[in-house]
Amino acid sequence: MNSGKTIFAQFMDFLSAYEFHKCVERYQGHYKVKNFSCWEQYLCLAFAQLTYRESLRDIETCLRAAGAKLYHMGFRSQVHRNTLANANARRDWRIYADFAQILISEARQLYAHEDFGVELEQTVYALDSTTIDLCLALFPWANFRKRKGAVKLHTLLDLHGSIPTVIWITTGKVHDVNILDQLPIEAGSIYVMDRGYVDFMRLHRIDRFSAFFVTRAKKNFRFRRLYSAQVDKEAGLLFDQTIVLRGYVVSKDYPDKLRRIGFYDADRNKRLVFLTNNFVLPSLTIARLYKCRWQVELFFKWIKQHLRIKVFYGTSENAVKTQIWIAISVYVLVAIVRKRLKLEPSLYTILQILSVTLFEKMPILQALSTTTWLNQDDDSRNQLNLFD
């Protein structure tokens, strides 16, 4: 007898089935499909992410062990590894990419006022990429080096809540700076990136859209100083200069003025030089903004450690992108559940609890709460005391 919903079913109730089916219809995901819908495929791969399954056989074995509970978890047909492998290879990965973007929009609204260390009214983004190594013999489409394959996750992270807003999945050969051509620019926003993204023609595009950037200067950077402002050297600031670029080509790529800020990082005993087109924010705030860029590095480290995006269930490009996008949607869904239920534990703690309670039938808030429920001793119970 079913005495309630499983934790897995309650967790998936935070998803909009209506929005998911709109994504499926957009890319004809159910064309010539009789059994094992796209929704069931999503549930299988989400289950695999939450329970750290290593292979398709793992997924099949664990779900079949659940038996009668599968129907109440949303499965309407038996899970076979061959069926799942075929779905991963053939069904358009953009279904799950679009659905992840819907979850991202919801999460960004929930975390819009989350503190990230710098009090600013503008939206602040961190842009960076991470490389996932692959075997070139198994993934021949993932070009990187002569004897090595890889894919790159280029990520634009909203620092309010560490929510990935846009993700581009490319082969390892694509240089980071090329992503600036596809970057969606919001007027008034601040984009923080490392010096691998320094291309003055592309940076000028950000300036033309009335947005701001903060990056580090390269060592061979040529410029002409126009003006120097006073700085607080006790705070670690070295200089705050207004400059223009020198050189025939780069001066045409970026003809406007730039701001050059020097900062001494005492913790790492390192001298840092920043470039920005923002002349309003204090120079110390610019340095602190660049330090916040480290959140995107922590995001990459987190998903690589706690989600399954380093070992893949299929070798085709479609299968790899499908798995990555579902992993991202699971990360965002955990963040949404944490905010909706007003939970105190970290995302890591919630993920660990979910991994061992998915088949339990109890309220999800009770499972994820850190409150310790103590058993109250009742002296009026009828149990006799053997030692009286």
Q: Which amino acid is at 205?
A: R
Whether 301 shows a pLDDT value over 90: the answer reads: yes
State the pLDDT confidence band at 81, using cuts at 50, 70 and 90.
very high
Domain map (residue ranges) of the chain: 7-94+319-366, 195-280
Percent share of the chain, pLDDT over 90? 76
- Phi, psi for 162 (deg, rounded to 5): 55, 50
Sign of the CA dihedral 247, 253, 254, 255? positive
- Cβ-Cβ contacts under 8 Å for 228 (sequence gap 6 or more): 239, 240, 241, 242
* Two tokens, residue 266: 């005492």
Reply yes or no on whether the pLDDT at 3 is more than 70: no
Tokens linked to 181: 């051509």
- Which pLDDT score is estimated for 13? 94
Helix (H) or strand (E) holding 287: helix 283-292
Q: Residue 381: what pLDDT?
A: 46
Q: Which pLDDT score, from 0 to 100, does residue 78 have?
A: 87
Give the tens place of pLDDT for each residue, 244-298: 999 889 999 999 999 999 999 888 889 999 999 999 999 999 999 999 999 999 9
The C-alpha angle 320, 326, 331, rounded to 5 degrees, equals 125
C-beta separation of 91 from 80 below 8 A:
no
Average pLDDT over residues 205-227: 93
Q: What mean pLDDT is reported for the chain?
A: 90
Length of the chain in terms of residues written? 388
